[in-house]
A and B are shown apart, each in its own frame.
Chain A
Amino acid sequence: MSQAAAQRKALQVAHLEELSFIRKYIFSTDHKTIAKQYLGISLFMAIVGGFTAYAIRWQLAWPSARIPGVGTITPDAYNTLVTMHGTIMVFFVAMPFLLGVFGNFCIPLMIGAGDMAFPRLNMLSVWTFLVGSLILLASFFVPGGAAAAGWTGYAPLSARPDLTPAVLGQDMWIVALALEFSSFLMGGVNFITTALNMRAPGMGLWRVPLLVWYEATASVLFLLSVGPLIGGAVMLLLDRLVGAGFFLPAKGGDPLLWEHLFWFFGHPEVYVVALPGFGIMLEILPVFSRKPIFAYRALVYCALTATGLSLIVWAHHMFISGMDPRLATPFTVTTILISVPFAVIVFAMIATLWGGSIRFDTPMLFALGGLTSFLLGGVTGIFLGSAATDIYLHGTYFVVAHFHYTLFPVTFFAGFAGLYYWYPKMFGRLMNETWGKVHFWLTMLAFQGVFMPLFFSGIAGTPRRVFAPNEYPLFKAIQPLQVHATIATVTLLLVQIPFVVNFFWSLRRGKRAEANPWLANTLEWCVPSPPPHANFAHTPRVRRWPYEYSVPGARLDWSPQTESGDTMLPAAGGQ
């Protein structure tokens, strides 16, 4: 050990010892602790979001029946539930889980850095997010209840306090979202700066693991798209509080302006969560196939292309909104074109499996479950992206089934894959494999059971966001589909219990993890599990590409990035 490294080590130990409990675990600037804080908040919010799903689905299957544990609900309460379910799951579960947890935990470790570029900003980001989450949760308990204007908050319904019972609740919804946006703006700045500036020596851009690429690209996309909506949120709040009238026609405003501001962000948002989800799956596939990822550079270009395209597709949410109908075909073309980068990503994932030596551990099962389920969400997007069929399918359960088939796989399948995979690195112990597999298969089956029937319900024309679909003569006959979906939902929620138990049980009783339990190449696996404060005892030197598995003639079937030797991709700066 060189003198400099020894000194560094001594400093780290000293630094660690002088930290009080509060600085170490609560107001921590350590990216690993912050990732765990995001994990705690997002899993708690997922339980709340799951509970709203349960109440919604029960009402839809057996309208106006008593919901066990909830009671009967009014149409207004139903509107609140669907509004809060969407808001919580997209902004307070998917984003903190995929960006807050895996971005924070993995980016510094994977690029050989001691922490984020701005650790204090990182701490501010998680605390801002916590305040936003608490405000959102508190809104359930204020007079009038939580927001009820849909998670898209279309004006004027959301812009006039007299139109829904949620007067204070809707204001709190806006404030909570604005805080959430600010939190992820701070996080995004950190992700991008860290990925660009903090890479260990030898890690050129073409040696950066795909998860880091995808997290950073998602952050760029978030920064590019969220600005207009923050403006929109301020305008909406002014409409509500002082009657400014930005979105109220009676005062010269225009409701379509809100739709544009919302979807200009809202559609890229799908990719903000989809890219990290895919990043996780792309890290896991090569490790468990013992094969290099197929077409690494093409995968990076696909993320960049999807990012660019996703900024010019938003109006496909507005084909029938009353905007100029001549805009529909250009937006159909851009929307359907986005299938191309995603098709390449999927083809590359499939090609990675070909010729592999595949191990089906829990992370791999969840990654494959995510891929196979996402495929259905992807292809059904074509029906909605083409304006002509959207006329018929817009606002039906087809849309509900479609976006759950995209968001659930990237959030939960990819998210669970990542959690089972990095859990040993986070907590120093492995989760139980058997219960992991049980969790996977039951989740996989129940998930299909929830949303498959809803495609058919949607094709039959059932509108979403209705309190009692059985009151429509046209859909009485297909009420059994709603019942099936509800039974599957209850099952889906119940089969998360093995996961929760496994998670907490393994914290103390799990098999102790070595540094590299999955025999993977990326840098986080060359430090102890869990990594010490400041991660690396001395800055690692990166000598190769992250996906060298099964190199012909090599002694082992993996080649860590720090190991010297022949490498497939050029060194930093090349090509």
Chain B
Amino acid sequence: MHWLPSDVSTFGPSVDHVFRLILYIVGVWFIAAEGAIILFAFRFRRRPGHAAVHVAGENMRQLAWILVPALVVVFLDFGIDIAAGHAWEEIKLESPKPALNVSVTAERFAWIFDYPGPDGKYGTPDDYWSMAKLYVPVNQVVRVDMRSMDVIHSFAVPNLRLRQDVVPGRTISAWFEATKPGTYEIECTELCGSEHYRMQASLVVLSDSEYARWQHEHWSSIASKPSSSASAGVKQ
């Protein structure tokens, strides 16, 4: 479990909870099954004077030995389904009202983040765009509307426990609420060509005051693209 990277999103604990639940359930089964195989292999190895028993498991009394555990498996399966279903619903089906909307464009091999600017509308002169850096405020719901210009990419932020494929021809939305300021990795996790492995970006989670300052520096003073700011890249 300690292998999981730190979790900085509101729904991260739900994912980690399901992970832990499955780990405990299958862990017990796995150890029991391996233990039984090793034990039986040792206990029933060929020894002189010990013949094998003649049991074919063709009557109900014998079949119960495998059918009862199988029934338990069915019940545990549904338990996992329910837990996983809830977490999935929270992450992918519900969409809380966002405080910030960012438009994400995936293009071989870069991530571009467009902000609507002070007026809250896209397509106006005060729009702001940033290359490879997604700035968001902490403890606020952020909605990303993602498009791809060419092939399938996948927007993945391990620390947020968030991943969503970005498919050309569609706009696919996702949301998150980061709980801790800091810089986290954004990766493309769908093979998209030669430089796929370089298609990385950063999620910069800012505290309220830092975010206000960032907004003030970049949004209000800038009236046209591209930004002259050092934090914003230049489109190739």
Contact = CB atoms under 8 A, between A and B. Distances in A.
Contacts, number: 281
Contacts of A165: 194
Interface string B38-69: 00110011110011111111100011011101
B139 interface: no
Given A292-B54, A322-B167, A358-B45, A461 B158 contact: yes
Nearest to A393: B19
A463 B187 contact: yes
A459 B22 CA distance: 13
Interface in A34-79: 74-76, 79
B46 A357 contact: yes
Residue among B62, B154, B195 with most chain A CB within 10 A: B154
Interface range, B side: 35 or more
A10 B7 CA distance: 77
Interface stretch (B86-94, B96-104, B212-220): B86-94
B36 A350 contact: yes
B85 A332 contact: yes
A294 B81 CA distance: 30
A11 interface: no
A557 B26 CA distance: 37
A319 B161 CA distance: 14
B66 A163 contact: no
A162 B164 CA distance: 25
Contacts of A549: 52, 54
A168 interface: no
B170 A154 contact: no
A467 B198 CA distance: 9
B53 A326 contact: no
A353 B44 contact: yes
A375 interface: yes
Contact of A298 (B23, B63, B151, B197): B63
A297 B62 CA distance: 13
A320 to B, nearest CB: 5
A332 B150 CA distance: 30
A323 B65 CA distance: 41
B193 interface: yes
Given A357-B50, A392-B161, A156 B189 contact: no
Interface in B4-38: 4-5, 14-15, 18-19, 22-23, 25-26, 29-30, 33-34, 36-37
A113 to B, nearest CB: 26
Contacts of A255: 151-152, 167-169
A289 interface: yes
B203 to A, nearest CB: 12
A348 interface: yes
A357 B185 contact: no
B37 to A, nearest CB: 6
Interface string A538-555: 000000000101111000
A332 B77 CA distance: 10
Contacts of B33: 346, 350, 375
B24 to A, nearest CB: 12
A388 B15 contact: yes
Interface of B: 3-5, 14-15, 18-19, 22-23, 25-26, 29-30, 33-34, 36-37, 40-41, 44-47, 50-58, 62-63, 65-67, 69-70, 73-74, 77-78, 80-81, 83-89, 91-93, 108, 150-152, 154, 156, 158, 161-170, 172, 185, 187, 189-198, 200
Sorted from nearest, which 5 A-B pairs have the closest CB atoms?
A: A249-B169, A388-B87, A461-B158, A386-B84, A355-B53
